[in-house]
Amino acid sequence: MTDVVGGQPGGEERRSGFCRFATALLPGWGRTGRHSLVMLLPFGLYLVLVAGLACTRRPWCDEAWFASSAVNLVRHGFMGNTCLVSQGIWQNLDHYTYWQPPVYFLMEALIFKLFGTGLFQVRLISIFWGLAGLVAVYWLARELFNGSRRLIFLSLLLVGTNFYYLRGAADGRMDLTAASLSLIGLAFYLVLREKNFGRAVFWGNLFVCLSGLTHPNGVLGLFVLFFLIVRLDHRKISPGIVLAALVPYLLGAAGWGAYILQDVAAFKSQFFGSAFRPETATCVNGLKWAAVYAEMAHRYFGLVIRGGGTVGMLAYAAVPFWVFLFAGLAGGFFLKDKRLWYMLVLYFLGLMFFIANKTSCYLVWIVPLFLLNLAGVVHAVRWKGFFKLILVLILSYIILFSVGGTVYAMAQNTYCNEYLSDLEHFAGQHYKGGKIYGRGELAFFFNFDDGIVQDDPRLGFYTGVKPRYFVVDDDYRRWFARFKKEEPAVWEHIERNLSRDYIEVFAGTYYTFYERTP
């Protein structure tokens, strides 16, 4: 018998493999061809936008620092960071990487083994887990909004096109990977808890555990998951359930613990040195007003305060975006089903009071929940007449702000116009061999050859090394300003060496290159 789909004989057979896979991830997505395409639209937009952003953003030091450990694991069999000069700061970093948990470095090593070393390979991990995070958003929306296709689509569209989410997905850091793993764990728990509570607890904790083994902020997902279990299902908790919850953490602790035991002193120096940094304007934790101010001023409105960064004047358009999301946070309190609101508030308070670093990189942990909550509030309010137009304008603004900011950032093409153009000119016209001290991202251009590039803004103050070239960018200039106040001996060393032993050979669009005089 011939199957006919959309008027084409044999269409069902041709689509069956893809349909089965998509239906397994997104049940109910393919009832009709039109609905199939509509529900997949946010995923397509996400992939197009994030691929464009990943190919056009200038790399930065964190991407190279993390990649260095994975490169050494693949090439030399040890997971040390030899890109970052750590003498005088952290112990034995060039042999062991303890300042972050190990899962992300293992993911990078696998990618490098399969596809070679490179910037896009690094970012491919975040792109993949951003896509997995969108699937988790689908499941959460399906569970929390009673299967409403409109709300599911709106949630996917808001998250999949969001500038902060896309920026995290185009970045070779582990933030979006860890955040997505936590989101997947929460989705597993909420979706399965009524069907099989034991499996819900196990799978939820497994993914939350993997999140914590990817980045310490995974503790946020742990707190939220435990709160939901106690709040929603405390009567179902039994010794067997407790064991199911503990198994992932026991296995994770055993694996990471075996690596830690190779150099416990280095672990203490690196991990706790990274986690408990001296308090600054952008690094504050604890239950105090300074943490509240730093959270709002630097995490949520930091782009505005810094004048926009990559997205320039469009950063100021973030103000009404956050106003709408915070209004949704307040409105969520009045929703009958408060599961989503509980998750959002716990993440919000956790980031504010317990995560000291107020970087906007961590927004990927909370933005999906903000947007899901906004979708729920929008649905709950009875919008009539003129207010329906207001609603359409608000949602359109949120999407256009994000897509516009992303497209603008892509158009700047800082990878080609700043990073590649400066380094190609330097390598072709001025580089004569020898050691370069500069920001870590230079290692991507020189294929992570530690004989060439290392990152040391102190210009050999602790190592005694005088590199042949010293490359200065805006990050190094910020370090110099900090050294003037906090480490005057280091600043005197840099100033003396630059004025006496180095000459400027090339001032590029973004980098300034100095060469040591004979």
Give one DSSP letter per residue of 104-152, joined into a string.
Answer: HHHHHHHHHHHH-S-HHHHHHHHHHHHHHHHHHHHHHHHHHTTT-HHHH
pLDDT for the residue 333: 83
AA identity, residue 191 = V
**Which is nearest to 158 in space by CA: 381, 398, 407?**
398
- Residue corresponding to tokens 């896309």: 166
Q: What is the mean pLDDT of residues 115-143?
A: 96
**Res 314 pLDDT > 80:** no
3-state percent helix, strand, coil for the chain, nearest multiple of 5 = 70, 5, 25
What is the average pLDDT score of the chain? 89
- Residue corresponding to tokens 């207010």: 387
**Res 383 pLDDT > 90:** no
Lowest mean pLDDT: which of 40-44, 173-177, 315-319, 467-471?
315-319
| Residue 287 or residue 514, greater confidence | 514
Q: What is the mean pLDDT of residues 232-254?
A: 96
Model confidence pLDDT, tens digit, residues 429-447: 999 999 999 999 999 999 9
**Res 287 pLDDT > 80:** yes
- Rounded to 5 degrees, φ, ψ at 420 are -70, -40
**Res 8 pLDDT > 60:** no
CB 438 within 8 A of CB 511: yes
Distance from CA of residue 199 to its chain's centroid? 28
Model confidence pLDDT, tens digit, residues 254-270: 999 999 999 999 999 99
**Res 456 pLDDT > 90:** yes
C-alpha to C-alpha distance for 136 and 178, rounded to whole angstroms? 13
C-alpha to C-alpha distance for 89 and 294, rounded to whole angstroms? 25
Q: How confident is the model at residue 505 (pLDDT cuts 50, 70, 90)?
A: very high
CB 104 within 8 A of CB 215: yes
C-alpha to C-alpha distance for 213 and 223, rounded to whole angstroms? 15
Q: What is the mean pLDDT of residues 154-170?
A: 95
pLDDT for the residue 286: 82
**Res 312 pLDDT > 80:** no
**Which is nearest to 131 in space by CA: 170, 100, 89, 95?**
170
C-alpha to C-alpha distance for 54 and 257, rounded to whole angstroms? 34
Mapping DSSP to helix (H, G, I), strand (E, B) and coil, where does residue 515 land?
A: strand
pLDDT for the residue 9: 41
AA identity, residue 319 = V
pLDDT for the residue 427: 96
What pTM value is reported for the model? 0.91
Percent of the residues in the chain that have a pLDDT greater than 90, as a whole number? 69
Q: What element of type H or E holds 259?
A: helix 239-260
